[in-house]
Structure 1
Amino acid sequence: MTDPTTDPTTAALADGIARSLGTDNFLMREQLSADEAALLDRVRAFGELEILPVVNDYWERGEFPFELVAKLRDLDIVGDGMRGYGTVPMTAVGQGLVSYELGRLDGSIGTFLGVHVGLAMKSVYLLGTEQQRERWLPSMARLETIGAFALTEPEHGSDAVALETTARRDGENWVINGRKRWPGNAVWCDLIVVFARDVEDGRIKSFVVRRDDPGFHATKIDGKMALRMVQNADILLDDVRVSEDRRLAGCASFADVAKVLTGTRNMVAWASTGHAVAAYEIALTYARRRVQFGKPIAATQLIQAKLVEMLGEVTAMQLYCIRLGRLIDEGRMTDTMAALAKYFCSVKARHVCRLARDILGGNGITLEFHIMRHLCDMEALVTYEGTAEIQALIVGREVTGLGAFS
């Protein structure tokens, strides 16, 4: 979806980013509405002005650029299929383009927004009552109240359906006990959607917990080599008491949780495609300018073969994403479609980033050229919102009629 008419020599190799190098090989920008194209351009301009100049420093330090939150608010990019409550109406492709462009710029910023909008807000929107939506969503849409999402546990990732965190009814309150691992934004969020098993009926329930609730403890996970700016946490819930009006009434089983997760797989596919586009553009710019043995390395068969392979994968990912977005808007997307898109795009994007790192040689491992940041971040995208292996099993069950999860 990059405009191929811009002269590639204007790309800033020093920043490691090629502005426009013809990565819209099948003219997919023509498939976008005027509003969608404008949204893409708006996020791109913002990112290149506000995100790229600071991202490597924050990534290396493993700190979150909090000053960008207020600036993101002015972009009007909080929507993701929700209507009302201060959200911005946009198509599924439009919301995908936001994830795509943020992925092209930086995975941590994209993940921050994806967790807040696609997981926390979407949980309230899909599973909450009208009163609960009115209570929380408007301030979340303004990025004034920041949300997180706690499903995964230390012992339950891919088998999250077996979660052990418990919720016990006590009069007009619920008492929650257990541990969660990996929630993004959880160290500094205002509220977090927590999934727990009701000790009485054994069913999964969902609760809105506030970070300042007694008994809620969040400890930042240090030592991450991917999405380093995202403040993931280990969560301890020690007799956390929440009132009944903070239970999302629409959640009564894991099938209700899956309603939220299916949409996020679409966003991960888009974000992965953005990472791959960044890697391809950086590699192409570098190959055209890096001179070895008296000529640009782009003039060698080995490098051209890698670049063509990368472009082919990027183009396929773009096709996946645009088609899936249109199916969502038509109400025809299935869980299997979302799983296949997440599987294909995340696995292929990681491969494209690896090829780009090869093309850059030693420079490929430096933050100056951004490739290693994208490659490391892709290691997280392949895993979260359902690992590549779990997505393969979902699709495999559909095409064979046989489950192979154990």
Structure 2
Amino acid sequence: MQGLIGPPDYSQEPSRHPSLRINAKEPFNAEPTRENLISSYITPVEFFFKRNHGPIPLVDDISSYNVSIGGLMEKSVQLSLDDIKKLPKHNVTATLQCAGNRRTAMSNKKEVRGVGWDVAALSNAIWGGAKLCDALKLVGIEYNTKMTLSGGKHVEFISVDQCKEEDGGPYKASIPLHQASNPLSDVLLAYEMNGEVLNRDHGYPLRVVVPGVIGARSVKWLDRINIIEEECQGFFMAKDYKMFPPTVNWDNIIWSTRKPQMDFPVQCAICSLEDVNTVKPGQVTIAGYALSGGGRGIERVDISVDGGKTWIEASTYQKDNVQCIPYDISSDKWAWVFFKAVVGITEDTEIIAKAVDSSANVQPEHVETIWNLRGILNTSWHRVRLQIAS
């Protein structure tokens, strides 16, 4: 790619907010504190979680930057950033979530491989850019196309970064062509984040945002878009981010027996408390986030203050702190909701939160039932313990 260079080392990394919890330094992976995560419905860029697989690429000459669209179709194009900005601009509010969110709690049950994330490996932003479907029209691919005349069924995104998992090659991922060409999917070629130009950590000058899907498919630092016959065979599609049952281990794993993970399941977590807390008897605020993939909304969030014996329903809200109404057309369908409940505590107890989405999917009760060797998609009931101060 002209215009971009991938640094061979970590000597020119961007600066980051000092409050971030650093889970890995090289490559840099970090999440905000629980308190900072829910301080704002739209996550400030400095608190947005950072997920990387190599050094952060540097822009050499933005005037010569371009993205190619090619592969199994009748024609190909080279698009400059200005070309992309000439397409209709859309703003999409979407929460990106790492598939490894809450991995630490899973690894506490049994060892897994991967970056040790707490509950904050996700964030919410207003993404600005062109819809991918509009860019695909430039090469003759129309709305809800499932296959090109040349046999293309998937859209592959290739980055410019250098990943240790790809032996120094670029990060790759793909989504089905019918999803990429559907305007209702809101897949973006994003060049703005929260009304400002993307910064380096989050994909400058151009990234893909695939709402409702695990963050691994929202490729940053975009270089090429290819129309391909089968799913991308890069490491992160073929040999990572797949959901295996608890019986599979590193001795008997066969990667080809599972499809790459796309939509994320229903999820919630308490962020107003740590996993173990000492509090005074009285009123305690239980607050956090809930979300589900695929554009499914949150129907409700249930809170238990007695270890799951009884339940109450928390209030839920999105922007402007207005209580959510399920299926309300004014809601941000790709974004999280916040929940809140104020409860009275008089003795040591376990607080539990679980969410139900608009398709009546419910979080699993125990992490053991969804344990997997890569530690992805820990969506089990979130539990925190309260101890009364003596």
Structure whose residues are more often strand by fraction = 2
> Scaled by the length of structure 1, what TM-score is found?
0.26
> Scaled by the length of structure 2, what TM-score is found?
0.27
